[in-house]
């Protein structure tokens, strides 16, 4: 009998929640276009507005400040723009400062010209260097426009939590805007856009256990908004044209409700299991390097290096053992490359790393199965590395 595969790649995409699946199926039966004024259209619109309230509740925002998109990448490209409006008055953002550990969707700079994009360094522990950010903002040329800063709340590879509130205070002192990628933090950390001091949050449905193809840009208010990325019929109050995807939005909302309900109850047990896994990894392979240890991390993530084992080789080896994990971010189909996060932390670019990420349904026996595979691969890593 073939053993069931073990899924430990929740940061890439979380398994679809039963309640999200049910919500999607129910939404499939809704006939109307949400922009239509007849009864059928109004029924879809009511569902979307209820979903908007659910997503807003997950991050302490008002429902009117949630803009649905096709995913986090679209939300990032929408918000990272030099062209804004304050009411009806045009406003220019002169320069974008992004942390060196951002997801490529943010790190590429959206609609900012490359000449108006600067990188904020991080410490050896993978934490944004606040002093370096202060220096960059002190040098910012206000004649070009206001500064924009983009810092993720929790890194998708290491899980390291960033000092968002501290960064927000600094950004406000310089009259800038703060964009926070909360994709990995949502459902794993308490989110409150006001308390964080962020101007915008980026969310993704499928990281929460909702369907792929839905995300949101959450705004602190409605006065200061970027120029639309997608033009057309003026849906989402003119901020994002195109008929909304009711099926994906319904599943997104169900996942957001579940994440909010389970946040407090589940986070400690998941972190405890992750810590147990890391302790045992060190016992079975004392030279293993676990990145971000000793710093605040989201409790489901462990990013580790086995010296002498390439990332892509290790990922294949675990896959052959029936374990699905990642060699860093799953940002490009079939692509395994050097981790820009490790490079930013001052580590050898060729070092490589493997990311284990778990969730509420991960059991102790799953951890034991992973550790058995880990011990086997660690013991024969030299031979495995030669094959590559």
List, as one string, the DSSP characters of 261-280.
Answer: HHHHHHHHHHHHHHHHHHHH
Mean pLDDT of the region 182-202: 96
Tokens describing residue 162: 């960033």
> Would the pLDDT of 312 be above 50?
yes
Transcribe 56-79 into DSSP letters: HHHTT--GGGEEEESSHHHHHHHH
Buried b / exposed e over 227-248, threshold 16 CB at 10 Å, is: ebbbeeeebbeebbeeebbbbb
Tell me the pLDDT band of 1, cut-offs 50, 70 and 90.
very low
Query: What pLDDT is recorded for position 335?
Result: 55
The pLDDT, as a whole number, for residue 171 is 98
**Mean predicted confidence (pLDDT) in 160-170:** 98
pLDDT of residue 221: 87
- Give residue 237's pLDDT: 94
Torsion sign over Cα 103, 108, 110, 115: positive
Q: For residue 348, what pLDDT band results from cuts at 50, 70 and 90?
A: confident
Q: Are 189 and 298 in contact (CB under 8 A)?
A: yes
Q: What is the set of domains in the chain, with CATH numbers?
A: 6-15+263-387 (3.90.1150.10), 19-257 (3.40.640.10)
Amino acid 337: pLDDT: 62
For residues 193 and 220, the answer to whether their CB atoms sit within 8 Å is yes
pLDDT confidence of residue 265: 61
Q: Is pLDDT above 80 for 240? A: yes
pLDDT at 351 over 90: no
pLDDT in tens, 31-71: 999 999 999 999 999 999 999 999 999 999 999 999 999 99
- Residue 329 has a pLDDT of 56
pLDDT above 80 (res 3): no
Least confident of 55-59, 150-154, 221-225, 246-250: 221-225
Rounded CA-CA distance 241/232 in Å is 5
What 3-state class would DSSP assign to 13? coil
371-380: average pLDDT: 95
Per-residue model confidence (pLDDT) at position 165 = 96
Residues 6+ apart with CB under 8 A from 226: 78, 79, 81, 83, 84
How many residues are listed for the chain in this entry? 388
Read off the pTM.
0.94
Q: What is the mean pLDDT of residues 72-98?
A: 96
Number of Cα atoms under 13 Å in the Cβ half of residue 201: 31
Distance CA 89, CA 277 (A): 54
pLDDT by residue (tens digit) across 318-341? 999 999 999 865 554 455 567 899
- Of residues 330 and 4, which shows the higher confidence score? 4
State phi, psi for 157 to the nearest 5 degrees: -95, -55
Among the residues of 92-163, which ranges form H helices?
A: 104-107, 130-138
Q: Establish whether 24 is a catalytic residue.
A: no
Q: What pLDDT is attached to residue 388?
A: 46
More confident call, 356 vs 310: 356
CB-CB contact of 162 with 171 (8 Å): no
The catalytic residue among 24, 219, 331, 386 is: 331
Q: Which helix (H) or strand (E) holds 367?
A: helix 364-379
Average pLDDT, the chain: 93
| pLDDT of 174 above 80 | yes
Confidence of residue 263 (pLDDT cuts 50, 70, 90): confident
């Amino acid at each position: 009998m073939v053993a069931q595969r073990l899924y430990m790649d929740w940061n890439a995409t979380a398994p679809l929640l039963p309640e999200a699946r049910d919500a999607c199926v129910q939404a499939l039966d809704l006939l109307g276009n949400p922009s239509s004024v007849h009864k059928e259209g109004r029924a879809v619109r009511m569902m979307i507005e209820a979903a908007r309230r659910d997503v807003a509740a997950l991050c302490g925002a008002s429902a009117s400040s949630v803009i649905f998109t096709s995913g986090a990448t679209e939300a990032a490209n929408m918000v990272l723009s030099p062209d804004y409006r304050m009411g009806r008055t045009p406003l220019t953002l002169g320069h974008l400062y992004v942390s060196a550990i951002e997801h490529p969707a943010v790190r590429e700079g959206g609609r900012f010209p490359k000449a108006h994009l600067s990188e904020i360094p991080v410490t050896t522990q993978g934490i944004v260097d606040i002093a370096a950010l202060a220096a960059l903002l002190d040098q910012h040329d206000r004649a070009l426009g206001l500064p924009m800063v983009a810092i993720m709340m929790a890194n998708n590879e290491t899980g390291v939590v960033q000092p968002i509130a501290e960064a927000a205070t600094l950004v406000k002192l310089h009259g800038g805007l703060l964009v926070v990628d909360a994709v990995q933090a949502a459902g794993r950390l308490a989110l409150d856009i006001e308390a964080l001091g962020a101007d915008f949050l980026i969310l993704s449905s499928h990281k929460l256990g909702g369907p792929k193809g839905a995300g949101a840009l959450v705004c602190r208010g409605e006065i200061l908004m970027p120029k639309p990325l997608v033009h057309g019929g003026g849906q989402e109050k003119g901020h994002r044209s195109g008929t909304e995807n009711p099926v994906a939005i319904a599943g997104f909302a169900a996942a957001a409700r579940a994440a909010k309900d389970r946040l407090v109850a589940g986070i400690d047990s998941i972190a405890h299991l992750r810590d147990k896994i890391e302790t045992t990894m060190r016992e079975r392979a004392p030279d293993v390097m676990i990145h971000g240890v000793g710093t605040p991390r989201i409790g489901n993530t462990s990013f580790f290096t086995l010296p002498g084992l390439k990332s892509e080789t290790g990922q294949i080896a675990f896959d052959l053992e029936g374990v699905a994990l990642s060699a860093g971010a799953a940002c490009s189909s079939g692509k395994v490359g050097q981790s820009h996060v490790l490079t930013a932390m001052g580590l050898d670019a060729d070092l490589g790393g493997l990311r284990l990420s778990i969730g509420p349904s991960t059991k102790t026996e799953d951890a034991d199965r992973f550790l058995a595979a880990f011990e086997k691969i660690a013991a024969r890593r030299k031979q495995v590395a030669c094959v590559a």
